[in-house]
Amino acid sequence: MIELFRATWAELVEVEGLGEALRGDFRALTWRGPRARQATIAAGAVMLAVALTEAAHLDMPWWAGISAFLSVQATRPGSVERVALRIVATALGAALALLCAPALIEDPLLTTVFLFAVTMLGILGTLVANHSYAWFLFAVTPCIVILMAIGEPGQTLHIAVYRCAEVTIGALSGLAAVLLLQPASPAPAPPHPPGFHDLTGAQWPAVLHALRSAITVALLPWIWKWFDFPSVSQMAVTVVAVLSVPMPANDPFTHGRRVAGRAFQRIAGCALGGIAALLLLGLSVTIFPFWLAMLGAGVWVCAWVQATPSGIGYVGTQAGIVFVMSLVQGLAPSTDLNTGVERLAGMIVGVTVLFLVSLMIWPESGDLRNPKPEPA
């Protein structure tokens, strides 16, 4: 326990270092070069996805925007693979939710078990199995559909179909931006994941991370009930904020300091992205082209930070996700600060619960005393 608080405090006192890294990123900001091109591709993809989703009158344009943001990779082959995996895995996850929904919606305990099991398996597969991104979407999609269906039991099919449509539009928008703006590049070397073996040995850190995520998601319905939050469907937003920052498969939080550091970066990114969105909402811009340009500019900055070489890319990823979810609220530009505040509060609750669970489910003390070298 003493080591837990020592590592956590050591990470918290590095807030100044995090701020300096962010200032360095902004001082290095330029409109030229591969990093700027990557940010432009991400911004264009999100703008296209949100515009198409709003034109199609789908329920959650922000989900299409998030899908576009997360589909853009550093190379064309990487983006193509991610888009294909995102579309297929989302459809499979939605089908699983439809199959299980009748038994889950009226049974809170069974719903908790389902959320825990799906998240545990999906996040563990993300870290140790082939096609990691498909495993990740397998974890996210059923949780979103089931949590939204709790508030609208008669709309389960509608929710599942629309989530698939929004993800497809977002992923294809990301692919279109990549094919249009990104130069051809060789395919990345295929990963060599360890697979589902030695889970109590070398792969134990991955199991711990999956366990943290699973407990966090399973607790959300109870937290909403205990604190009487205004909307059950808001939990879907929170789940996305908690799970949509995939951890690199070769970096499974091998020691306690990294657990605290990555979890704290997510809280910082959540706050920065949400506050930026609230400031823009306060401008009360309702002319769609101007509003879309604001969205693109914010995503560009988040993508710039995400591509940083300074080791704080998690801040940019989380900020981008929260920025889109807070600013994009419906089928037209919104000036509703209350909805933005509610969404930001829900997302901060989610990443804070993940932070607290991460502190509770800590690596072995030996990992803190003799941490493994940080990956280059």
Whether the predicted pLDDT of 142 surpasses 50: yes
Cβ atoms of residues 135 and 120 within 8 Å: no
Give the position of tokens 């800590």. 362
Look over the chain and give the mean of its residue pLDDT values, rounded to a whole number. 81
Range of 15-19, 176-180, 191-195, 333-337 with top mean pLDDT: 176-180
Q: Are 324 and 47 in contact, with CB atoms under 8 Å apart?
A: no
Q: How far is 267 from 12, CA to CA, in rounded Å?
A: 12
- Is residue 6 scored above 70 in pLDDT? no
Q: Supply the pLDDT for residue 376.
A: 32
Residue at token pair 């699973």: 214
> SS3 of 308, please?
coil
Contact 63, 166 (CB under 8 A): yes
Of residues 65 and 245, more confidence is placed in 65
Query: Distance between CA 88 and CA 97 in Å, rounded?
Result: 14
Query: Positive or negative, the Cα torsion across 75, 79, 85, 90?
Result: positive
**In the chain, where the domains are located:** 2-183+198-366
Pick 156 or 375 by higher pLDDT: 156
H helix runs in the chain, sequence order: 2-12, 15-27, 34-55, 61-71, 76-104, 108-128, 132-151, 156-181, 204-227, 234-243, 256-281, 288-306, 313-327, 337-360, 365-369
Quick: pLDDT tens for 269-288: 888 898 999 999 989 888 99
CA separation for the pair 80, 179 (Å, rounded)? 9
- Summarised one tens digit per residue, pLDDT across range 110-119 is 999 999 999 9
pLDDT of residue 188: 66
58 phi and psi angles, rounded to 5 deg: -85, 165
With contact defined as beta carbons under 8 Å apart, do 60 and 163 qualify?
A: yes
For the CA atoms of 205, 211, 216, 218, the dihedral, rounded to the nearest 10 degrees, stands at 170
Residues 14, 357, 15, CA angle at the centre, nearest 5°?
10
Q: What is the mean pLDDT of residues 168-173?
A: 95
pTM above 0.95, yes or no: no
Q: Would you say residue 369 has pLDDT above 70?
A: no
pLDDT-based confidence at 59, cuts 50/70/90?
confident
The larger pLDDT score, comparing residue 201 to residue 303, is at 303
What percentage of the chain has pLDDT greater than the value 90?
A: 31
CA 269, CA 130: separation in Å to the nearest integer? Answer: 29
How much is the pLDDT for 234? 65
Task: Give the Cβ contact number of residue 16 at 10 Å.
Answer: 8
Under 8 Å between Cβ of 64 and 52: yes
Closest CA to 71 of 185, 188, 172, 189: 172
What's residue 223's pLDDT?
83
Task: State yes or no: pLDDT of 244 exceeds 70.
Answer: no
Answer with the residue of higher pLDDT: 90 or 22.
90
Q: What is the mean pLDDT of residues 360-365?
A: 60
Q: Tell me: pLDDT of 301 over 90.
A: yes
At residue 42, the pLDDT reads 95
Count how many residues are written for the chain.
376
Q: Of residues 53 and 21, which shows the higher confidence score? A: 53
Q: Give the whole-angstrom CA distance, residue 337 versus residue 280.
A: 10
